[in-house]
Structure 1
């Protein structure tokens, strides 16, 4: 029996969870189709998901399609939970991207389609809700093809649009041949000869789909079941089966971590190679330490059942390793894709309510961050505050509700602020020598900071001989450099720069007969960890840094006669329109806006456009805070190397001389 790990993705409210229910019903896994509105769906298991009618956490359910076993992963549609989608993409063999026949291509549709194409994940399209008033089919496919530059192969035609009798009639038309000949030379040659056998056309369709070169498109309704049988046929015939050698070296990826009833960690993992058994010890966690597998369950027939082993291609739940984290490799590490979506661009401080225990809150937030690593926590011990990074206001509301329902903790939040970064404006260097000047550390450290392109990350290089001192001291400097760059001159992270070590030196151990060691006379790692932040901050002062704020690209569709009211509002929000195109009575405007102003833009748009304006926005880049604008500062949570006296008091209890 073949295996297929299938993701269902969509913009929020396009009907992806309803489609999951319909697929499970068609496969005979459930007797009655659940309702999102009624909170009775199989994959929305969290109480909060049922209350809000949205998917927050990815969920796995298995069902058979003839000789294919499908592990279906339902993912969130709201952009605030895009990190949950990101983790799933790395374990998929194929995907179904659901598009609403009424709303058409939306902001999340574009983000998901671009990412699926970049990762070359074979993808089918399903235009849902053809029974709804205002439904379109051919127009939506044309929009996908033109606006997303995606080769779409229509797999039939939709009839009775906008009525309860709406249906989907399967059949490849001339449009399929037009698309496929652009990607298949053999098919093109047959077309030129005037002889294209149906078998050749369908073989080309299957091959090009599995190569993620074209995307077959179906229409239907998850509520009525129209078109779902045709989609099931496409899932069976066009998407590739899971590959992997059960006898090969163990290789897997953890894409989800949850807590069991007793507080134990349960890891969801996809195995790409090898076989994992109960009582096996596997390397995982931050230090690649070995953890012993104590139990395994494998998804099958709509549920998960305990098994002694799991083989390549499957998805399983694993118990045992205490330090396992999302993104961990099991066994042989896989090459990571890196982040496929933008990082969070907002931050807020969690404020405990009256009587809320701060220790319990810290533990609860740590567990939430464990399940979602992009909800990064930042603790300020001086102010006794914890900040969380977020994608948006809905995610903040979900965190608040989760803390209340799952942990019994009452919290509120301060105003959400943009999560900025700092970038070096030039080159700067600094050095402090062992036993010279005001240096209280037995270490010599010289560092030079140079700018680096956005996205390059932090590079640490040496201009000194590696053998000039013990390797552990070099490692202490590098690790401390990376840690210190988490807070630049204005308190923001410096994500991209090159740091070069230009000077090094240490005091070696001295041994004399019948005398013990005097630890105050030779260098330790503490000396290098203590001195490095002071030197690095001085180098950054020499280079200077500039704060960059997150910017979103936006697209507004609105009545053309409201343009005069929109432009002053956009200017007040520091939004910059780049293009404006009038299409009859409507206009389409695209440009950039600071992330901090997106929420205000969402609130003001309906009133200025008679409720007809539509806004799409997504993170695009970081831009320097404009001159004349107050530079945003972020409170420090370290020992504050910006103030030498304060820093030395904190680190050594001495101020130096």
Structure 2
């Protein structure tokens, strides 16, 4: 059996969930197309999703295309849930990027295409809403070539665009201009094909369609299909394109199961279920699995667990029990400590780094009923299993738990989950930006046995801290022989370094620095805890000597809005001390890009709907950190 794990991605409201519904309807999985507005879709199962009409958590549904089983992954479109999109991207064989024929290429669309191209995920483009007034074709294709990628090739064209009766027709590549367009796209993506074209006496004898398939499967070309998820126009052509252009990779059935956990669910009884995308091997019940996890500091740990049950998606959201073959998505129960991002069977399955910038905001969350404080901590730990970037951590000044966020909408989601699943009502403090500290200069310290030292431990330990490149994080290195300490001692020193640097003199994490172990030694029965104690003492002195500067996160932003709102929008940006780097307007739409402190993003974003009558598109993501020389904020 062959599997294709297919992602549907888009800017919010472009119609990806509606497209999912139409694909399921055409495949005979459902007998009517659900409505996002009415909360009747297959993939938006959370009460909050139905209430707000947005996708918050990735959902998986399956349908058959001949002998191919397609596992369709519907992902969030709202920027507050970009981490959920990231988790899905790591497990895809192919993707359909949905673009609105009316709104066109929006800010999040560009971010998604840029990431898909970086990962080399084969991607088709579906231009939705051709039945809506204001829909565009030729103009939109030029916009896509300019702002998404020039490697697009329309496979269908629209008849009666902008009306409810709009239909699509296949592009005829017998027409010279269409054929030339195809050849131009393909020769740009493959030097060998360009050479064959230049050598050919009759270019029409070239097998250009096979070349298009090959380039699409390696992410170098992107066929474009027009249509309407609401009326169904063009969706069958897209389905044929999925079958033709997107790969169903052959998988190795022998050997232990290997894969990636990209989603974790909890049932009402508390049972945990892990969604595992299997790249190799077959997963069967009662099998013992090795599970690998990378910590935020970069270290990899190994755990093991026994799978008590295995389900595989069969039809729609339904599953069948039994074994999960390679290439499939398995729902595995019994792994009590599993988290999103864990790798099964091999550490090589762990993602090297995040695709998107981590959250730059945090807020303290309190239980309305003080008696729920312990239950709240447990509930937040459970939520972190599903979304590690929430990262519940103790706010040392208030003694309460703080969580990391991408935006204000995420607050509502956390509050809703805590109320609906755990029965805990919460309130949040004001959202604040997560600053960082960087060391100002290098500093060294040495604890040497046999000489005066802050402790009497019979050990030698030398450390050095120095500034590193912005964005490099914490670089930890050994400048001594690994054999000079036992593994437990080495781990104790590294753990002490990473833990101590989480809180600098102003309360923020010290990062973008290099810490090196410069000297080691011990005499007699020395415990790892003694190395940990000495390391902390040395770090305390080095941090005081080096000093730190606090840096504030600065987000770059892209903003689209009705041009008639320009005056009010620019005035609001000035109020937020934003730096405008570019501004223009076209077809009644204003565009601004620039940068502003992350602290100001939420306030500005909350004002936009009233300034633009709800017709603005705003995307912000971390760009850099700026130093705060005077009165730096303290974490409190």
**TM-score, normalised by the number of residues in structure 1:** 0.89
Distance 2:460 2:105 in 1: 59
Residue 312 of structure 2: aligned partner = 298
Task: Note the alpha carbon deviations across 1:170-218, whole angstroms, 9 max, x for none.
Answer: 2243433321221244654565546344882221111110010011111
Task: Note the alpha carbon deviations across 1:318-355, whole angstroms, 9 max, x for none.
Answer: 01121111111111222524101110111000021135
Task: Note the alpha carbon deviations across 1:384-408, whole angstroms, 9 max, x for none.
Answer: 3000001000011111111112211
Distance 1:199 1:318 in 2: 48
- Alignment gaps of 5+ in structure 1: 510-522, 636-657
What secondary structure sits across from 1:625 in the alignment? strand
Residue 296 of structure 2: aligned partner = none
Residue 320 of structure 1: aligned partner = 334
Task: Note the alpha carbon deviations across 1:103-160, whole angstroms, 9 max, x for none.
Answer: 1111211111100000000000001111111111222222121013341111121121
Structure 2 contact 253–326 (Cα < 8 Å) conserved:
yes
Cα 1:135–1:587 change in 2 (3 A) is closer
Residue 407 of structure 1: aligned partner = 422
Distance 1:537 1:409 in 2: 39
Distance 1:549 1:268 in 2: 37
Distance 1:50 1:582 in 2: 35
Distance 2:474 2:395 in 1: 24
Structure 1 contact 546–624 (Cα < 8 Å) conserved:
no
Distance 1:351 1:462 in 2: 42
Aligned match for 2:218, one of 211, 223, 235: 211
Distance 1:199 1:56 in 2: 46
For residues 264-283 of structure 1, the aligned pairs below 5 Å read: 264-283=271-290
Distance 1:242 1:495 in 2: 40
Distance 2:591 2:97 in 1: 25
What secondary structure sits across from 2:624 in the alignment? strand
Distance 2:591 2:104 in 1: 16
Residue 152 of structure 1: aligned partner = 152
Residue 252 of structure 2: aligned partner = 245
Structure 1 window deviating more from structure 2 (301-310 vs 97-106): it is: 301-310
Residue 653 of structure 1: aligned partner = none
Task: Note the alpha carbon deviations across 1:533-563, whole angstroms, 9 max, x for none.
Answer: 2211321222222222221112334577876
What secondary structure sits across from 2:324 in the alignment? strand
Cα 1:301–1:561 change in 2 (3 A) is closer
Structure 1 contact 428–448 (Cα < 8 Å) conserved:
yes
Residue 635 of structure 2: aligned partner = 634
Instruction: Indicate whether 1:344 and 2:346 are aligned.
Output: no
Q: Which has the larger radius of gyration?
A: 1
Distance 1:219 1:566 in 2: 33
How many residue pairs get aligned? The number is: 620
Instruction: Quote how far apart the aligned CAs of 1:632 are.
Output: 1.6
Distance 2:564 2:4 in 1: 50
CA-based RMSD:
2.4
Distance 2:560 2:374 in 1: 48
- Alignment gaps of 5+ in structure 2: 294-300
**TM-score, normalised by the number of residues in structure 2:** 0.92
Residue 127 of structure 1: aligned partner = 127
For residues 431-580 of structure 1, the aligned pairs below 5 Å read: 431-434=446-449, 436-439=452-455, 443-509=459-525, 523-557=526-560, 569-580=572-583
Distance 1:165 1:401 in 2: 41
Cα 1:329–1:590 change in 2 (3 A) is same
For residues 171-210 of structure 1, the aligned pairs below 5 Å read: 171=171, 172=173, 173-174=178-179, 175-185=181-191, 187-188=193-194, 191-192=197-198, 193=200, 195-197=202-204, 200-210=207-217
For residues 589-604 of structure 1, the aligned pairs below 5 Å read: 589-604=592-607
Task: Note the alpha carbon deviations across 1:36-76, whole angstroms, 9 max, x for none.
Answer: 11111111111221111111111111100122210111111
